[in-house]
Structures are given as C-alpha cells and as structure tokens.
Amino acid sequence: MRKILPITLMAAAASLAANTAIAQADAAPIASDSAGALEAPEDWDCDLYDEEWREWIDEGNSPDAWRFAGKRYRAVSDGDLYTWEDWLDWSDENGCLAGAYLDGGTAANSGGAFGGSTAIGLVVGFFATALIAASGGENSQSPG
C-alpha cells in the first residue's frame, strides 16, 4: 500500500499538469484592444517593443517570462490570431533587432503557448512513467 500512494500522487500531479497545459492552450485569445495586449500585426513596427524587449533580455530575464510570451491574441480588426512569437518572426523578417536577442532554445523557437513540444513531451513522459509505475507494482502478474 505504501508504494501505491506515491504513485497515485504522481499520476494525479501529472494529470493536473496536463489538464492545465491543455486549458491554457484552449483559453480564449486576448482581444488586441484589451489593456496591455500585444498590438495587432497591422500596427507593428520595429520600434514598437524593441527597446523594452532588449532591456528585458539584457537584465537576464527569461524570454518565456516576457509579458507577451505564451499568450494568444485576436486582432479586433479582422479576427486573425497572433502571438509574441509571430511578432519575433515578423521582427526578423523586417530587419528589426529584437530577434537577435534570442538563441535557438528560447520562447521564439519553442513552438507556442506553453513551451511547445518540449513541455508537452515532459508532461506526457511524466504521465506515462506514472502509469507504467502504477501498473507494475504489487498487482503485477509477471512471475518473479
């Protein structure tokens, strides 16, 4: 019985983490005219967030903790969805400096709202490990 309780807690924690990640991904996008929202793409220019972003990174802050990172927005003008990662891509394509402050393993390249495939892989891997451990405990039918 002592083995089952930690395994059950681990499985419950994994389930909670997975459900939280899914809920965040499915959350309604923030309207571009909301207070503090990332401007809509039609209003983007190289100077819009460049200085603030560079200062944020230069201070040693994580790109994933940036105020716009991990959120989805909806342009009120046309309903198009966009993210901070879209702004970084736009910045790179238009010769702005913002993208130069990132390397290959940051929010801009991680694939989305909650860390992309890395976060999903960790949650799924943790959950799968918990299930395997739970099924192979005292109730195992294998000879031994």
Q: Are 10 and 137 in contact (CB under 8 A)?
A: no
Q: Are 14 and 120 in contact (CB under 8 A)?
A: no
How far apart CA 20 and CA 30 sit, in angstroms, is: 18
Amino acid in position 98: A
Instruction: Share the mean pLDDT of the chain.
Output: 70
pLDDT of residue 31: 97
* Residues in the chain where the model's pLDDT stays below 50: 9, 13, 16-21, 23, 103-124, 126-131, 140, 142
Q: Are 112 and 104 in contact (CB under 8 A)?
A: no
Q: Distances from the Cα of 27 to the Cαs of 20, 40, 64, 70, 78, in angstroms?
A: 10, 18, 18, 11, 19
pLDDT of residue 114: 39
Q: Which two tokens stand for residue 37?
A: 């929202």
Q: Distances from the Cα of 59 to the Cαs of 24, 53, 64, 86, 117, in angstroms?
A: 27, 10, 14, 23, 27
Q: Are 37 and 84 in contact (CB under 8 A)?
A: no
pLDDT of residue 92: 87
How far apart CA 109 and CA 96 sit, in angstroms, is: 17
The pTM score is: 0.53
